[in-house]
Each structure stands twice: as C-alpha cells, then as structure tokens.
Structure 1
Amino acid sequence: MTGADIDGVVAVARSAFPEHFEARACFEERLALFPEGCFVLDRDGQVAGYLIAYPWPRGAIPPLNSALGALPPSIEDVYLHDLAFAPEARGQGHARPIVQRLVEEMRGRGARRIALVSVNGTRGFWQAMGFAPVAGDEALSRKLESYGEGACYMVRELQGVEL
C-alpha cells in the first residue's frame, strides 16, 4: 500500500464496513506507522481490497475510528485490523494468499501471533485461516460489544501448521 492507494482503501472500507466506517486519517496513520503490514489488491490500477495489520498488545483491541498515536516497541503481537474486498472482488480466493503473506512477513520480523476481531459472521472464515477464538477479560468483552453482535476476539499462533 502507498499513500496513493488511500482513496481506494477508503472506498472499499465504506462498502465492506458501513456500520464501522473509519475516517481516511485512520488509514493514513496506520500506513505511516507500519507500512510493512499494509497491503492492497490492485485490479487494473484500482484498489479492489486491502489488509492492514500492525503491532499491538495481546488481548487489547484498538479503538475504532481513532488515531493510534504510536505502536508498541515489540512486534511479538500483531493485530490484523482490517481485511476487506470490494464487492466485485469477493469470493475469488484473494483472502488466503494475502493472509499467508502477512503471516510470512510478520513471522520473519519475529512476531509470535496475530490477533483480530471477527465481525459480520466471519468466525468460520477466520477459523479456516488458522485463527481460534480466545476468551478475554471483562474489559475486552465490553469492547467487543461495540463491534456488533457475534464479534469474537481470535488469535493465530505463528508457530503452527501452514494452511
């Protein structure tokens, strides 16, 4: 992902997450803070999908539509903030390769696990990608409520079997 991709990323995010839309500044900041975890699916010069991940403390969920300010110094834990595709790019097998690329990149940087919040009924999808539900404390459970019904905190250990 580059700065020139941000408009396309915002458009894809708007279509994929209408209930949890985040401002352009959030995407710009995440790219600036950790470009190593920002990827786009380019189709004929247009952004058709994106993935954004960055170091974040285990068991914590970054606030939606808010600036992060800074990232933790350790890359041991990575948070997969978003994976989204434009409607015309969904269901075409793009997810597994980009998630695997993230796994390889983060493993190469010393990360031990990747966490995410499953929303919109995607728990089975993420389980197929090697993520497992993790019970959190009361504070985490309260934060998950803001993501909608069925939101689930999930983790993929990076020392496990490849998909």
Structure 2
Amino acid sequence: MNIFPATDHDLNAILAIQDLCYHEIEPESAESMISKIHISPETCFVAKDSQDDIKGYLLSIPATLGNPPQLHSETQVIDQHADCLYLHDLAIHPKARGMGVGKLLFQHFAKIAYQKQFQHASLISIQNSVSFWKQYGFSPIIPDKVLQEKLKTYGDNATYMECYLPDFYSH
C-alpha cells in the first residue's frame, strides 16, 4: 500500500468509498470534496494498492483550533492564522479494513502536519468513532456554543476532538 496526493482523477473512487462508509450523515457532494483537495493538495491523499486501486483516503486542511470547517461547504478558505491541521475525513473501503490502511494514512497525515510545523490536529468524530481516534492521541473537547451549532450538522453523535501531535510522535 502506498500513499499518493489526492487529485481530481481520484474523486470518483473517493466518493464511492464515502458512500460505502457513511450512514449517519448525508455524504458530501463532489464539489465539497474536491474543494478540500484544491485548497490544500499537500494535505489530502489516497492509499493505493499494487493494482493502483484506491483503498482509502484522508482529506485535511489547515484550520484553527475550535473552528473546524462547515460540513457540505463547496468553498474552502484557509485561515491565515491556522494553528492546526483539521482532519476532515478518513475513510477506508470496507474490503480493505483490517489491512492497516487507516494507520498508514494517519501516519502520513501526522508526518505532513509535522513538516508544516503544526503542533495540533483536530477533527470531528462521527458514527461512534471516539475510541478509534483516542488511540491516535485525540481527546474530546467541550464545545462552545458556536461549535455546538456546527457539530449539529455532523449528526447526533458528533464529537469535536483535538490532538497535541508531539504526544503522538512519542508513542
């Protein structure tokens, strides 16, 4: 399994995996997904097998702690004062689960965050995945009122989480 930058050519495979993985929220549109790749191509990537088939993807963009991007947004703006790398979406094709694809993608994400000198990462956990993210050093954060409203668009079980990346590197 190898990691490559996500491109426009990967969009159909990304959308297909998204459709297979998300059942608690409406999948994002092609425009919403591609906007993340276009705004931050160096922080969006895919995992491909030896046959060049995409088995998973990770889309992330620079953001500020406590202020993740809106779900379903077809336009992205990177805050000039970004202080974290926001992990917007990590999804693995169901047939590739248990093969270490998620771990490989997250390790690449952490490497890129380190290269870009981000000390923190953030994400919104959905579909009861808090325990999954805790294994990578993420902790739930109590949201303020603005963040609570944004979390509602991510479904009933959405939890905002943050990670101090140097702690991840020390594992």
Q: Deviations over 1:117-161 (max 9, x none)?
A: 011010000000111111110121222122222211001112224
Q: TM-score under structure 1 normalisation?
A: 0.92
Change (3 A) 1:89 1:137: same
- Which structure 2 residues correspond to residues 72-83 of structure 1 after superposition, within 5 A? 72-83=79-90
Change (3 A) 1:54 1:69: closer
**Gaps in structure 1 of 5+ consecutive residues:** none
**Gaps in structure 2 of 5+ consecutive residues:** 1-5
8 A contact 2:121–2:162 mirrored in 1: yes
Change (3 A) 1:46 1:34: same
State the 1:103 CA deviation. Answer: 0.9
1:24 maps to which of 27, 30, 50: 30
**What is the aligned partner in structure 1 of residue 3 from structure 2?**
none
1:6 maps to which of 5, 11, 16: 11
Paired residue type of 2:12: D
- Which structure 2 residues correspond to residues 6-155 of structure 1 after superposition, within 5 A? 6-18=11-23, 19-43=25-49, 44-155=51-162
RMSD: 1.5
State the 1:61 CA deviation. Answer: 2.5
> Identity over aligned residues, as a percent?
28
